[in-house]
Chains A and B, each alone.
Chain A
């Protein structure tokens, strides 16, 4: 879980072109870091590649912070399992 949090933070920082130190668990990616819908898609594509999962398109809007992404990943895992 901790490793996954680090991966999410790394991917978010990479796509949004910010330092990893600027991305906290509850940082609002849209309000505070100017993320747009294309960036959300890029984050999803990288997560899918790294974690070998598929994230449904409807969930894009819920990805507003590192914590919400982690929760979403956990929910996906539960649904599959």
Chain B
């Protein structure tokens, strides 16, 4: 695993692609600026050119709350992959959301840069709980808890 090998402290977009199975238009993180076993700081740049703004909303562009949740989930998957000791497991297993409890405190619009801070709260063999906070500059725009359960996908 890329992250494992050199114990990387940050990840580029291409390195994120190697960890996440998501692709356009569902890839919602751009760069990992800091990562260790317990925490990840991840950046997502919101562009007015993003496809979902076509319908959300035609008159006023607002970054959908579910996509903030998804961005937190993707940042969490990268963190969980980084804190996993068994490299082989990462390839076959995908953490899927079990429950989320998230507050949206302010709107996110084109031009904003999301700073997603994920902190691992509890991790056992097949599941994990993380706490996520999302900032635009110094402003907290969203925060909450996400629980994941790992599912094995074959072929």
Residues of A at under 8 Å CB distance from B? Answer: 37-38, 41-42, 44-45, 48-49, 57, 60
Contacts and interface: CB of A to CB of B under 8 A. Distances in A.
Contacts of A37: 126-127
Interface string B104-130: 000000000000000001101111010
Nearest to A49: B121
Nearest to A60: B124
A45 B122 contact: yes
A42 B124 contact: no
A38 B148 CA distance: 8
B74 interface: no
Contacts of B127: 37-38, 41
Contacts of A57: 124-125
19 contacts: A37-B127, A38-B98, A38-B99, A38-B127, A38-B147, A41-B122, A41-B124, A41-B127, A41-B147, A42-B99, A42-B147, A44-B122, A45-B121, A45-B129, A48-B122, A49-B121, A57-B124, A57-B125, A60-B124
Interface of B: 98-99, 121-122, 124-127, 129, 147, 149
Contacts of B121: 45, 49
Smallest CB-CB A-B distances: 7 pairs: A45-B122, A57-B124, A45-B129, A38-B98, A45-B121, A41-B127, A38-B149
Contacts of B149: 38
A38 B95 CA distance: 13
Contacts of A44: 122
A44 B127 CA distance: 12
B125 A42 contact: no
Nearest to B121: A45
Contacts of B125: 57
Nearest to A44: B122
A34 to B, nearest CB: 14
A41 B147 CA distance: 9
A10 to B, nearest CB: 16
Contacts of A38: 98-99, 127, 147, 149
